[in-house]
Amino acid sequence: MSRARVARRIAAGAAYGGGSIGLIGVAAVGIVLAEAQLAKRTVGTGTAPLPPATDGLYGRAFGTEDPLRLALLGDSTAAGQGVRRAGQTPGALLASGLAAVAERPVALRNVALSGARSDDLERQVSLLLAQPLGPPDVCVIMIGANDVTHRMPATESVRLLSAAVRRLRTAGAEVVVGTCPDLGTIEPVYQPLRWLARRASRQLAAAQTIVVVEQGGRTVSLGDLLGPEFEANPREMFGVDLFHPSAEGYATAAMAVLPTLCASLGVWPEPDRLEPGRHEDMLPVAKAAAEAAKQAGTEVTGARAPWALLKHRRRRRLTEAAEAEAGTGAAQAPVASGETPEGRGEPLPQDSPRA
């Protein structure tokens, strides 16, 4: 069965309350469990630092009035576990990058929780919508890895994500989802678990894309962006626990998400029209989702149902984006670091402690 058909079946099962559609065959469970026990002995032998606090105001070179409001939701990847400095986290990188491109300050709120699965998104969304200032302008969600490793049924996983995106869109927020990363790139994981993890990750990523686009959000494929690069440079891309990304790994992911984040707010300098020379196309949603799961950093956004736009936006290093778009240089509009001299975004008075 093609990946597009599998993804559509998972999404349909989530929408109509279908049974548990597993990500791997029952016959493979015994092998997977044996391989997983071996992998656990290696993965996590190092201790990943707790995610640094990142809530605050970024891009103060553009003032402090009327900031764009950015929120991050999801698991340890969204929280930034594995690095020690706030400026190395995806939230700080995206907030400072958005500030440079939009030439406006950005207020960041991160409610992501290490170890979270999709069933925690309801709590995270409620935290954001309960803020006195109302919903954020744009939300970035990174979720799915823990759903795969804890064998959450794919239909349940995408149903929960769909509900979260629907609540945020109904409240007026733009939503960008970084789909499930490629777990087949984790260095200590060997065959056949590596193949099964990659297959499960891609199936879930494709199904996530379908339900997010149907709710009016956008997705960016992280799996095949990070896959080859992490596989080729695992010592650079993974942190000390060999599971969470390193600072360089997070920067790679943030470079992929930033163009779509900016485009969702209408501030990305490139046009939204399709460029066939870059293999961009308009495809049925399920087929676009399957293609995105295979292609590095691919964006999928809805068009007229049942069609979706498949785009490959140009990515630049965040420091280069800051200098090109802000025209002020990294010293005045830090984008790669996202830091004040104290090493983090300046706290906002209305921010409550992170979850």
- 306-321 tens-digit pLDDT: 899 999 887 766 543 3
**pTM, entire model:** 0.79
H or E stretch including 139? strand 138-142
- Whether 241 sits among the annotated catalytic residues: the reply is yes
β partners of residue 68: 106
For each of the chain's 355 residues, which pLDDT tens digit applies? Answer: 565 766 666 766 555 454 444 444 434 444 444 454 444 444 444 445 577 889 999 999 999 999 999 999 999 889 988 788 899 899 999 999 999 999 999 999 999 998 899 999 999 999 999 999 899 999 999 999 888 878 899 999 999 999 999 999 999 999 999 999 877 665 555 556 666 777 888 899 999 999 999 999 999 998 755 544 455 555 444 444 445 677 777 888 899 999 999 999 999 988 777 887 788 889 999 999 988 888 768 999 998 878 999 998 877 665 433 433 333 333 333 333 333 333 344 444 333 333 3
The single-letter DSSP state of residue 173 is -
* Percent of all residues in the chain with a pLDDT value above 70, rounded to a whole number: 65
* Candidates 76, 201, 221, 264; catalytic one: 76
* pLDDT value of residue 276: 79
* Candidates 96, 137, 244, 264; catalytic one: 244
90: CB partners within 8 A, 6+ apart:
72, 77, 78, 80, 140, 142, 250, 253, 254, 257
φ, ψ of residue 302 to 5 degrees: the values are -70, 150
How far apart are the C-alpha atoms of 146 and 150, rounded to whole Å?
A: 6
How far apart are the C-alpha atoms of 169 and 152, rounded to whole Å?
A: 25
- Whether 76 sits among the annotated catalytic residues: the reply is yes
What the block records as the tokens of 43 is: 């993965």
pLDDT in tens, 114-152: 889 999 999 999 999 999 989 999 999 999 988 887 889
* pLDDT value of residue 232: 55
- Whether 150 sits among the annotated catalytic residues: the reply is no
How far apart are the C-alpha atoms of 106 and 161, rounded to whole Å?
A: 25
